[in-house]
Amino acid sequence: MANHLSIRLNRLVRKRAYLSGEIVRSQAEIDRSKALIKKLRSRKARLLNSLAQTDAQIEYSSGLEVAEIRAIRYTPRQNGQRRGSLINAIIEVLQAENRPILTVELIDA
């Protein structure tokens, strides 16, 4: 069976098909986001519960004002690198050269 659509109509049909596909993809992304939000809310509730228990223990044992304790944000290492790995690499290059070297030379090494 031959395609009897004009070029203009064919473009519109194709555009509609792509738009429809984008809507399906967007809905799937919304569903994933909703699941992630639900998971994060549950995690936040557990953390708040643990925080309340810890605050109670601190107040019971020391009488400190827990509101004055500042928050520390956990920042994991990227690419699983250990702490000090960059410094160790720099020291290895400097020891191999046995002489003072310029920063540009260090970067090229």
Residue 89 lies inside a defined structural domain of this protein: no
Can you give the pLDDT at residue 14? 94
What is the full DSSP assignment across 6-32?
-HHHHHHHHHHHHHHHHHHHHHHHHHH
Residue 27 lies inside a defined structural domain of this protein: yes
Q: pLDDT band at residue 5, thresholds of 50, 70 and 90?
A: confident
Residue 52 lies inside a defined structural domain of this protein: yes
Residue 87 lies inside a defined structural domain of this protein: no
- Would the pLDDT of 58 be above 80? yes
pTM (2 d.p.): 0.54
Domain that holds residue 49: 7-70
Among residues 14, 16, 34, the alpha carbon closest in space to that of 24 is found at: 16
Residue 90 near residue 106, CB atoms below 8 Å: yes
- Would the pLDDT of 80 be above 70? no
Share of the chain above pLDDT 90, in %: 45
